[in-house]
């Protein structure tokens, strides 16, 4: 059961004990004509996918591994905005359900105290430059104890349980994410990216910080200044020039 008060998001729900990746399950449902808001949740993923071709560790028991199908009638170029929207929804839900000081690292990692607790992977499929559908994949380390996290990643990863000091109800968390998604997506479709960008900026841990950006074009250093209207990160380089980061990883430099 999903603790959500929504009319679309999460209403069509597929729960799986184990699967390769909920992204692939959701994609198969999308191709069969599943409605917007279809949600796939798996207890365990054997081939969990991360951003930039990485794998995503998804053991059974204490995580929340899920993929949400969106069908916005928008240009394909809007997909990065939907990535940021998803990060805002998840961050707000985590803050309210687990009562932790979570923030967003550009574009869409959710961090607590500088450590990652959630990753988001948005995959979009288009036709004639329009979105056919998007699959927002959300992976949250919810109730893992420190020793359940991969040993080589313990210094940069955390879980909601470690940070809040108590177990977090995964169904309540999934429901809260659906509530936030429905509300924010409604605002975005009616009013555009502006209100979502403002919420993202308020939750950001990257803005006004010295950052290093690892982009497909190379490594850049500067200060993260703001988001542009497409969702790209604007960085001021040391010579004062402004540049846009469209894809890649951005880390906040230690002070």
- Rounded CA-CA distance 87/67 in Å is 13
Contact segment (CB under 6 A) with ligand BTN among 7-15, 59-67, 71-79, 158-166 equals: 59-67
Q: Which residues in 15-34 contact ligand BTN (CB under 6 A)?
A: 21-23
49 is in an annotated binding site: no
Q: Is 119 in the site for ligand BTN (CB under 6 A)?
A: yes
Minimum CB distance to ligand BTN, residue 238 (Å): 28
**Looking at 97, 98, 120, 205, which residue binds ligand BTN (CB under 6 A)?**
120
Closest to ligand BTN by CB, 155 vs 238, is: 155
Q: Is 45 in the site for ligand BTN (CB under 6 A)?
A: yes
- Rounded CA-CA distance 181/201 in Å is 17
Q: Which residues in 195-254 contact ligand BTN (CB under 6 A)?
A: none
- Rounded CA-CA distance 141/65 in Å is 9
Minimum CB distance to ligand BTN, residue 66 (Å): 6
Instruction: Using alpha carbons, select from 65, 142, 69, 137 the residue that is nearest to residue 102.
Output: 142
Contact segment (CB under 6 A) with ligand BTN among 46-54, 74-82, 202-210, 218-226 equals: 46-54
Residue 96 phi/psi, 5° resolution? Answer: -80, -35
Query: How many H-runs (helices) and E-runs (strands) does the chain carry?
Result: 5, 12
| Virtual torsion, Cα 98, 3, 68, 54, nearest 10 deg | 30
Residue 176 phi/psi, 5° resolution? Answer: -65, -35
Query: What is the DSSP code (8-state) at residue 34?
Result: P
The partner residues of 110 in beta bridges, in order of sequence, read 104, 118
**Sheet of 249-252, strand order:** 242-245, 233-237, 218-227, 210-215, 249-252
Minimum CB distance to ligand BTN, residue 48 (Å): 4
Contact code string over 72-111 relative to ligand BTN, x by CB under 6 A: -------------------------------------x--
Minimum CB distance to ligand BTN, residue 181 (Å): 14
**Residues making contact with ligand BTN (CB under 6 A):** 21-23, 45, 48-51, 54, 56, 58, 65-67, 109, 119-121, 137-139
């Amino acid at each position: 059961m999903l603790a959500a008060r929504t009319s679309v998001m999460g209403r069509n729900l597929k729960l799986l004990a184990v699967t390769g990746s909920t992204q692939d399950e959701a994609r198969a449902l999308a191709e069969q004509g599943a409605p917007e808001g279809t949600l796939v949740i798996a207890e365990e993923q054997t081939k969990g996918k991360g951003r930039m071709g990485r794998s995503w560790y998804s053991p059974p028991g204490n995580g929340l591994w899920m993929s949400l199908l969106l069908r916005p009638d928008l240009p394909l170029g809007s997909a990065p905005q939907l990535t940021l929207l998803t990060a805002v929804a998840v961050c707000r839900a985590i803050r309210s359900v687990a009562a932790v000081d979570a923030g967003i690292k550009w574009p869409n990692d959710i961090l607590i105290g500088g450590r990652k607790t959630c990753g988001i992977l948005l995959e979009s499929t288009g036709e004639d430059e329009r979105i056919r559908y998007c699959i927002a994949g959300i992976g949250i380390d919810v109730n893992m104890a420190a020793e359940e996290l991969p040993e080589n990643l313990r210094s940069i990863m955390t879980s909601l349980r470690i940070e809040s000091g108590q177990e977090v109800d995964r169904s309540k968390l999934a429901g809260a994410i659906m509530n936030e998604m429905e509300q924010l997506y409604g605002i975005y479709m009616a009013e555009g990216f502006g209100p979502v960008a403002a919420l993202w900026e308020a939750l950001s841990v990257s803005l006004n910080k010295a950052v290093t950006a690892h982009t497909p074009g190379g490594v850049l250093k500067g200060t993260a200044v703001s988001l542009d209207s497409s969702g790209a990160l604007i960085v001021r380089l040391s010579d004062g020039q402004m540049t846009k980061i469209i894809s890649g990883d951005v880390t906040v430099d230690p002070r």
